[in-house]
């Protein structure tokens, strides 16, 4: 008995055990979306995996962990609920995939360097607006949810060049979550030359930083904002981005942050420059 | 809704009042920090227990546990009780984040050099403090004993070892299709032994 095509039903065990790669997982969830029976089985096997999880010996966390968490809640935005159209079964897919970041997208107006023509910023919806309003109110938050995504990077270096916008957002969000969760995470706030609030969060241990700016004006289409790490040796380019003009735009800087680096933003011709060609609109000392 | 017939009721003790995790998640979705604290107290040791089972290193496990609870805070708005119990939602998230950490970082390799594979797959290596946990261990252990040895090995490597099915295939030097079958047959057998039903 030979099978020509892999039968998705064979993946039910691996799926419940979280042993699938990202692609296979997506395929399997597409299969689940179309089958009530498969969804029931997936839920049952998920509960079976829970029994395995609860059979691990409990470990008491250190007291500091809870205190630390509670202190972060106020500045951590909650995602807006996924808009759930109650109708088609196809919309009730992916029982175990609650954490995809697609709807409450907080990453706005950020164009991946290698896919600069794609414009994720055009995706606007009521949910995204709502999420963004929350983000304003608590701009210092993070999007840990998306760290769930896939392990797209290794040791702080981007793997693969041509990420699509969605992967790029997930990667950015995952890194921001990492920075925020790092034991040595720090932040500093200032304003741009136009008076827009800007916040830098960084972790020296990770060598990563992220900059968020509120209501940064949109640029002409032949211009980009460019990020820089600046120190005594000069300026090192750290990625480009654009802004829709409203909401908080943020971006995890490319490259490695070194202790004492300043992070700056300049306006550059589209695609960025090897060295700054204009005065920074904002500079923050890490 | 699916109910894991015995395991969860041991903890929720619905009649004697501490709020259920489902209720707490509902309140957390409204931004209720006290509810978050309560949920944390209820389930943090289980989350950390599972994460540490996979990552071994205590400091890293606490770090990942912190990320998991922040994710709970952020995404409680998207939890839907009709799709499954709160414990399943939380522990699935915990397992996923632990596995992400293993796959994304040095953590996995460090762990693999620190301990042998045999330790990875033996989930019952400690004498547990509480009766509930011991009963649960016994239940799972008994159910696991009904699997064939090959199924048990594959399921343990995937779940407690955090290996993907292709990694399991590689380690055991068997075809991927065989691993898929062992994992599915093993999980279905476990489900039936544990009496998980919809």
Pair B12, B46: CB distance under 8 Å: no
Of B4, B62, B70, the CB nearest to A50: B4
Beta bridge partners of A264: A228, A283
Pairing between β-strand A186-191 and β-strand A157-158 as defined by DSSP bridges:
unpaired
Please give the Cα distance from B7 to A154 (Å, whole number).
38
CB neighbours of B76 closer than 8 A, spacing ≥ 6? Answer: A78, B25, B26, B28, B29
B2 chain-A contacts, CB cut-off 8 A = 43-44, 46-47
Q: Using the beta-carbon criterion (under 8 Å), do A54 and B46 form an inter-chain contact? A: yes
Q: Is the pLDDT of residue B123 over 70?
A: no
Return the higher-pLDDT residue of A214 and A207.
A207
Q: Is the pLDDT of residue A23 over 80?
A: yes
Tokens of A223: 């211009």
The CATH class of the B1-115 domain is mainly alpha
pLDDT reported for residue B106: 56
Domain boundary assignment for chain B: 1-115, 116-198
Q: Is the pLDDT of residue A228 over 70?
A: yes
Q: Is the pLDDT of residue A135 over 80?
A: no
Reported residue count of chain B is 198
Q: What is the average pLDDT across A224-250?
A: 86
Give chain B's mean pLDDT.
83
How high is the ipTM of this complex? Answer: 0.83
For domain B116-198, is the CATH number 1.10.10.10?
A: yes
Q: Find the residue in B nearest to A171 (Cα).
A: B104
pLDDT digits (tens, 9 = 90+) for B63-80: 999 999 999 999 999 898
pTM score: 0.56
Q: Is the pLDDT of residue B165 over 60?
A: yes
Tokens of A215: 């209501």
Please give the Cα distance from B141 to A170 (Å, whole number).
38
pLDDT reported for residue A164: 58
Tokens of A62: 């250190």
Q: Using the beta-carbon criterion (under 8 Å), do A20 and B177 form an inter-chain contact? A: no
Q: A-contacting residues of B 68-127, CB under 8 Å?
A: 69-71, 73-80, 83-85, 87-89, 91-97, 99-100, 103-106, 123-126
Q: Using the beta-carbon criterion (under 8 Å), do B191 and A45 form an inter-chain contact? A: yes
């Amino acid at each position: 008995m030979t099978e020509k095509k892999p039968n998705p039903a064979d993946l039910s065990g691996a799926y419940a055990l979280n042993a699938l790669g990202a692609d296979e997982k997506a395929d399997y969830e597409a299969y689940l979306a179309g089958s009530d029976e498969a969804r029931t089985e997936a839920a049952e096997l998920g509960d079976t995996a829970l029994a395995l999880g609860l059979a691990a010996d409990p470990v008491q966390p250190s007291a500091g962990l809870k205190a630390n968490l509670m202190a972060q809640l106020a500045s951590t935005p909650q995602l807006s609920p996924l808009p759930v159209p109650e109708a088609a079964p196809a919309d009730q897919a992916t029982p175990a995939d609650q954490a995809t970041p697609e709807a409450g997208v907080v990453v706005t107006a950020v164009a991946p360097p290698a896919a600069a023509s794609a414009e994720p910023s055009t995706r606007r919806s009521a949910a995204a607006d709502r999420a963004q309003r929350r983000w304003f109110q608590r701009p210092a938050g993070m999007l840990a949810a998306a760290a769930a995504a896939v392990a797209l990077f290794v040791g702080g270096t981007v793997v693969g060049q041509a990420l699509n916008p969605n992967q790029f957002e997930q990667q950015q969000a995952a890194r921001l979550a990492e920075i925020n969760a790092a034991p040595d995470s720090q932040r500093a706030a200032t304003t741009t030359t136009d008076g827009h609030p800007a916040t830098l969060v960084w972790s020296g241990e990770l060598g990563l930083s992220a900059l968020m700016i509120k209501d940064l004006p949109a640029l002409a289409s032949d211009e980009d904002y460019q990020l820089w790490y600046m120190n005594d040796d000069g300026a090192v380019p750290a990625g480009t981005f654009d802004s829709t003009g409203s909401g908080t735009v943020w971006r995890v800087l490319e490259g490695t942050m070194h202790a004492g680096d300043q992070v700056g933003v300049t306006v550059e011709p589209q695609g960025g420059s090897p060295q700054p060609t204009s005065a920074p609109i904002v500079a923050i000392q890490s | 809704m699916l109910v894991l017939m015995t395991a969860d009721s041991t903890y929720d003790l619905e009649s004697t009042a501490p709020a259920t995790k489902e209720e707490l998640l509902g309140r957390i979705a409204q931004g209720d920090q006290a509810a978050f604290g309560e949920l944390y107290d209820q389930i943090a040791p289980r989350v950390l227990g599972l994460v540490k089972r996979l990552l071994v290193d205590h400091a890293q496990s606490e770090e990942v546990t912190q990320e998991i609870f922040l994710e709970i805070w952020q995404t409680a708005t998207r939890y839907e009780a009709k799709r499954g119990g709160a414990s399943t939602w939380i522990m699935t998230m915990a397992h996923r984040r632990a596995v992400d950490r293993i796959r994304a970082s040095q953590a996995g390799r460090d762990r693999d050099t620190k301990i042998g594979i045999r330790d990875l797959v033996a989930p019952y290596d400690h004498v547990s403090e509480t009766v509930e946990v011991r009963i649960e261990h016994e239940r799972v252990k008994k159910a696991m004993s009904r699997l064939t040895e090959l199924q048990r090995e594959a399921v343990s490597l995937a779940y407690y070892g955090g290996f993907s099915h292709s990694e399991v295939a590689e380690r055991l030097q068997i075809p991927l299709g065989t691993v898929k079958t062992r994992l599915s047959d093993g999980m279905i057998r476990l489900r039936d032994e544990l009496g998980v039903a919809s």
